[in-house]
Structure 1
């Protein structure tokens, strides 16, 4: 029987691995090397990932699932992400590193404060599909997406983008048309009492009062920005493929409107910059839509890092089912 969650996990990982070779490169450099098409894994990753190896995006998605499998809720997810970090991954974002190093649930709020409340990268968005893949649904999905994102990326733009994306995946998998699914997901984002969710989760507390106040003051504007970027993406507009969370979200929504898996992912790969992350998010959306992956991308697919619970030479097709089962049996 087709498992949409496993399909989506494989889809986002394959898209991430496809984009690994073009990350931080310009479209001109990519086309000079690869031509006008990019349909198979290639060498050239700036972080040394071999063809078929996925980057930190998919690694952290799987680490999140491993965290659910170990139990303990949000604390278990945090511990699993720290295991991943402590094993020295080839690529890790600066805010993610800072937040996880604290070892506390409010590490993301502290890291955001240390950035002057300016940092709003895509390091939460790139892994948040794990929450939907793990089987959360409805309001519980929205709350969990907010809390898991805020472990590392507490800016309200990051949190709202993740709540939207997970609700979007749920609506698409349920069969809603693309634009209608996006509008439904925006309504989910608007309804969630995000500050209460983060307070209840332990992200905000006495030691992070300034972060809580700043979040409160900026939350309404953040939702408006996410709403505008999603609707821009629905019209096919791509501002940039930078690591800024709203750029990534808009680009992924724009790319993933296409009617085949490769047509959703290949444009993100060919545009370079933060191509692996944009491709990963677009791949998650394509997977939730049920678009079929090119068969040749599955056999060599691996994760480009070893940490407790995962070995670099493991094939994703062979080991993802057990990871997924463990996450679903989280109790």
Structure 2
């Protein structure tokens, strides 16, 4: 049987690669070009990704895992993400670029402050499954998810969404039914003092006091908003597939309720807008559920960029096992 962590990594990457062709397109334009179904990799990526190549979402997930293999904790993850950025990937979110540019653990808090404490994109959520894939569990999983999200996205909506998602993956892998797993993940989110966690890690401190104060002021409302969006998604509703973190989370929860892998992923791909990221998050959930990835999607699967530790031409099926094992042996 495939390692569930490896399976989840392959699942989110394949979903991301399916969504690469439809990113930033409207549903109408997607159907006009590709038809009413989209079950195989297609050309048409606005960033030039070839069919079968996954985008920055999967690249940053793998970079996070490569960072854990350094055995240096969050500092190693930050270094690995910066190595990925330095190699000039074709698609980088603005807040992610600003946060990683500083080279310090508090870069995400600084970038958030620079946005006027308004930016709450999905650039942390897209890669946070890596923390569960690396083997963190329980309270350690929740704390680490908050920290790794905040390296680039320190808004409480982003941080708590990341905590929820990894707790959901853990609950689903343990065999809990979908709605019950989501409820358990919300309880994990509500029980974590993320602000204290970020203070203890040095993400909040004297030089980021304004970010700390803004986080403290907004975190209760942020958790309430996440609870509302998760419950909405569980009922099959979605607001948008935009790059706003709560739109992505709600859409992913809604799509990932389906009974098969493709039934989960295809609606996200056909929905357009930030379809690669929504599909990637859905793929992580579907992977943790153990849903079978269509066999034809695995042989051509690649990552669409080269950086230290990864070559663009490498087959994901051949090289992901070592990535997962290296992260698990993080020391």
TM class, shorter-chain normalised?
A: over 0.9
- The equivalent of 1:64 in structure 2 is 64
- Pairing 1:42-81 to 2, within 5 Å after superposition: 42-81=42-81
- The equivalent of 1:166 in structure 2 is 166
Aligned-pair CA distance for 1:208: 0.2
Following the alignment from structure 1 to structure 2, what is the Cα–Cα distance between the partners of residues 198 and 298?
A: 38
- The equivalent of 1:230 in structure 2 is 230
Aligned-pair CA distance for 1:2: 2.5
SS of 1:257's partner is: coil
SS of 2:69's partner is: helix
SS of 2:157's partner is: helix
Does residue 101 of structure 1 match 2:101? yes
- The equivalent of 1:178 in structure 2 is 178
Following the alignment from structure 2 to structure 1, what is the Cα–Cα distance between the partners of residues 247 and 305?
A: 27
Runs of 4+ in 1 over 6 A off after TM superposition: none
Does residue 263 of structure 1 match 2:263? yes
Following the alignment from structure 1 to structure 2, what is the Cα–Cα distance between the partners of residues 176 and 71?
A: 32
Aligned-pair CA distance for 1:70: 1.0
Following the alignment from structure 1 to structure 2, what is the Cα–Cα distance between the partners of residues 34 and 306?
A: 28
Aligned-pair CA distance for 1:144: 0.2
- The equivalent of 1:118 in structure 2 is 118
Aligned-pair CA distance for 1:118: 0.2
Following the alignment from structure 1 to structure 2, what is the Cα–Cα distance between the partners of residues 125 and 74?
A: 16
Q: Deviations over 1:60-82 (max 9, x none)?
A: 00000000001110000000000
Following the alignment from structure 1 to structure 2, what is the Cα–Cα distance between the partners of residues 200 and 55?
A: 33
Tell me the TM-score normalized by structure 2.
1.00
SS of 2:258's partner is: coil
Residue segments in structure 1 that go unaligned for 5+ positions in a row: none
Q: How many matched pairs? A: 331
Following the alignment from structure 2 to structure 1, what is the Cα–Cα distance between the partners of residues 116 and 125?
A: 21
- The equivalent of 2:191 in structure 1 is 191
Tell me the TM-score normalized by structure 1.
1.00
- The equivalent of 1:22 in structure 2 is 22
Following the alignment from structure 2 to structure 1, what is the Cα–Cα distance between the partners of residues 195 and 283?
A: 29
Does residue 148 of structure 1 match 2:148? yes
Residue segments in structure 2 that go unaligned for 5+ positions in a row: none
SS of 1:70's partner is: coil
- The equivalent of 1:304 in structure 2 is 304
